[in-house]
Amino acid sequence: MKSLICKKCGHKETLEDINQSATTKILIAQVPRVREKDGLNIYPLYCLKCNFITEWAADPYNNSRKAINGVEYFKTFKVNKKLKPHFEIIKNNLVNRGYTKSEKIKYSFGWILIIAIIYQLFFN
């Protein structure tokens, strides 16, 4: 399991971005519901792009025969009053996360390009 997908809008992000990035569009709350028949922990995934929740569970060996890249997805629904407070806390703390290594590199190249263009405009 390297990435998770919002089943409503199809937005996909790596676990590195979800867990560590300030610019993530997918949030995961650690409030699983337990499926009675097998004790499987099913977690909510909140997509900030479409405001829908997708329930998912890790299934790295595809025991359910329904897993996509090690993840089994369940129902998708509009964010509700029960889950919204859990995600608001995570959403408000995104600013404190900073950027991942790959984001730092990407944004550094962008700033270098912008500075080079400005330098060319004013000094040539």
**What digits encode the pLDDT tens for the residues 83-118?**
999 998 888 887 777 776 776 787 788 888 999 999
Spatial distance between the Cα atoms of 65 and 105, rounded to a whole number of angstroms: 38
Q: Is-above-0.85 flag for pTM?
A: no
* Amino acid 43: pLDDT: 95
Q: Which helix (H) or strand (E) holds 92?
A: helix 84-92
* Amino acid 102: pLDDT: 72
Question: Contact 91/27 with Cβ under 8 angstroms?
Answer: yes
* Amino acid 68: pLDDT: 87
Q: What is the pLDDT along the chain (124 residues), one digit of tens a residue?
A: 689 999 999 999 998 888 788 888 999 999 999 988 878 899 999 999 999 999 999 988 888 888 888 999 999 999 999 999 999 888 888 777 777 677 678 778 888 899 999 989 988 7
